[in-house]
Amino acid sequence: MKTIGLASDHAGFEMKQQVKAYLETNGYAYRDFGTFTDDSCDYSDYAHPLAEAVEAGTVDSGIALCGSGNGISMTLNKHQGIRAAICWNRELATLSREHNDANVLVLPARFVDRHAVGEILEAFLSASFCGGRHRKRVDKIPIH
């Protein structure tokens, strides 16, 4: 069973509850790194622990949310082993895995229709990296 790490700020909190329900319904375990309320907070406080868990392999991949997706994505991508992709539809989620080997899906909670969340999650969680010509590009992402 895959374990998915979760993180959000206050703007992503409500949609994160929807993500949890999807994961539970579809047989995924998850570890929630916070936030645990919709009180105003800083996304970086939750993004860093999620990124560290993905890098350490204590979770298989991650899902992160904030209002625009930008702040939490920027924070996650400061970690060398993270490839966080902001996705607002099924096609982007699929391509983020197939072409970029994304290991964290970022949902821009204020811009994603709540009815589309399940499709986006299903696309991200079921797709896999194609490798091939994309491998050399992904290998050039980290700064060594």
Active site residues: 66, 99
CA torsion, ordered 59, 65, 66, 69, to nearest 10 deg: 100
Whole-angstrom distance, CA of residue 92 vs CA of residue 49: 25
Report yes or no: 53 and 94 within 8 Å, Cβ to Cβ.
no
Stated as kind and residue range, the H or E segment containing 91 is helix 90-98
Report yes or no: 98 and 127 within 8 Å, Cβ to Cβ.
yes
Tokens representing residue 68 in the block: 């625009």
The strand pairing partners of 128, in sequence order, are: none
DSSP state of 87: -
Tokens representing residue 38 in the block: 């919709």
